[in-house]
């Protein structure tokens, strides 16, 4: 266990206060309308996005190679529909869910006409309005690092409850040059400590405690990117 700062701060995640701020942040037309431009317009961002989509594609293909059916997906949080092209390419019917109606409005405008979209629902990931084992797979991208540890546990349990087949979730890990340089400098008294990033052991513990086992981890760019796309399954 590292650097416990205050009682409200979890060791492996954000503070509740920051999380509540993040939730409010996305519930804004101006944030939602600029999200894609800020995240995915620059060349470096487009490449990063492509690496993430490629990793999610590998997770889908691996699950299918293992004989698991992925005909329906819940994308939570779907945001502005970043993952939707992937579902369309794979002929997967999908539901989008998000706490922000504003983000989903953008997604609906872009993809609402596509035949494979079943619907969009505004909800909190801690309480998914879907029946148990009603959807093949749950996909959750660019989300977990915003969430405090205790809340992540509830969310993972909800995702597991509704999914029949597997979960595809991205996490941020500590095996990058940037992380280790920051950490080394910090031990020498230079700069701030790096933000928490998952080790293999912490990831196993987190998923295990929510009743989930890891099937395969897909790094997006070894040593330079801290993103893992994790294919996992309820025990
Ligand atoms: C960084 S965006 C990620 C969206 C999308 N998956 C992507 O990769 O672009 C984070 C999203 O999480 C949503 N969100 C935050 N807390 C949530 C919660 N508790 N339940 C559902 N959605 C939440 C926000 O509204 C926002 O749209």
Instruction: Give residues (CB < 6 A) around ligand 1.
Output: 22-23, 26, 77-79, 82, 98-100, 103, 124-125, 141-143
How far apart CA 126 and CA 182 sit, in angstroms, is 33
Domains in the chain: boundaries: 16-234
pLDDT value for 14: 75
Q: What is the arithmetic mean of pLDDT over 135-155?
A: 96
Contact of 149 with 1, CB cutoff 8 Å? no
Q: What is the residue-wise DSSP string for 159-202? A: HHHHEEEEEEEEEEBS-BHHHHHHHHHHHTT-SPPPPP-B-HHH
Q: What is the arithmetic mean of pLDDT over 140-167?
A: 96
User: Using one digit for the tens of pLDDT, what is the confidence trace for 116-125?
Assistant: 999 999 999 9
User: Could you tell me the two tokens for 5?
Assistant: 């700062």
Confidence of residue 160 (pLDDT cuts 50, 70, 90): very high
pLDDT beyond 50 at 45: yes
User: Could you tell me the two tokens for 84?
Assistant: 């939707």
Nearest ligand 1 atom to alpha carbon 32:
27
pLDDT value for 4: 37
Atom 17, ligand 1: residue with shortest CA distance:
99
User: Using one digit for the tens of pLDDT, what is the confidence trace for 182-206?
Assistant: 999 999 999 999 999 999 999 999 9
CA of 194 to the centre of ligand 1 (A): 23
Residue 9 vs residue 115, higher pLDDT: 115
CB atoms within 10 A of CB 224: 10
User: Using one digit for the tens of pLDDT, what is the confidence trace for 66-97?
Assistant: 999 999 999 999 999 999 999 999 999 999 99
CATH 3.40.228.10 for domain 16-234, yes or no, is no
Atom 1, ligand 1: residue with shortest CA distance:
142
Atom 15, ligand 1: residue with shortest CA distance:
23
User: Using one digit for the tens of pLDDT, what is the confidence trace for 20-38?
Assistant: 999 999 999 999 999 999 9
Atom 10, ligand 1: residue with shortest CA distance:
143
Question: What percentage of the chain exceeds 70 in pLDDT?
Answer: 94
Angle at 99 between CA 53 and CA 198, to 5 degrees: 50
């Amino acid at each position: 266990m590292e650097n416990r700062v205050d009682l409200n701060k979890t060791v492996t995640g954000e503070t509740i206060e920051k999380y509540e701020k993040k939730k409010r942040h996305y519930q804004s037309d101006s944030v939602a309308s600029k999200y894609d431009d800020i995240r995915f317009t620059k060349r470096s961002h487009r490449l990063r996005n492509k690496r993430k989509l490629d990793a999610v594609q590998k997770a889908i293909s691996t699950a299918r190679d293992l004989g698991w059916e992925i005909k329906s997906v819940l994308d939570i949080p779907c945001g502005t529909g970043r993952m939707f092209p992937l579902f369309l390419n794979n002929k997967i019917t999908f539901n989008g869910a998000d706490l922000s109606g504003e983000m989903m409005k953008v997604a609906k405008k872009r993809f609402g006409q596509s035949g494979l979209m079943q619907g969009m629902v505004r909800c909190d990931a801690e309480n998914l309005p879907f029946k148990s084992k009603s959807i093949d797979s749950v996909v959750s991208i660019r989300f977990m690092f915003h969430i405090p540890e205790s809340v992540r546990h509830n969310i993972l349990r909800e995702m597991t409850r509704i999914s029949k087949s597997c979960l595809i979730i991205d996490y941020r890990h500590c095996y990058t040059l940037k992380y280790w340089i920051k950490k080394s400098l910090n031990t020498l008294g230079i700069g701030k400590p790096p933000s928490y990033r998952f080790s293999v052991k912490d990831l196993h513990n987190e998923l295990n405690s929510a009743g989930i086992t890891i099937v395969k981890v897909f790094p997006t760019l070894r040593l330079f990117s801290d993103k893992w796309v994790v294919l996992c399954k309820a025990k």
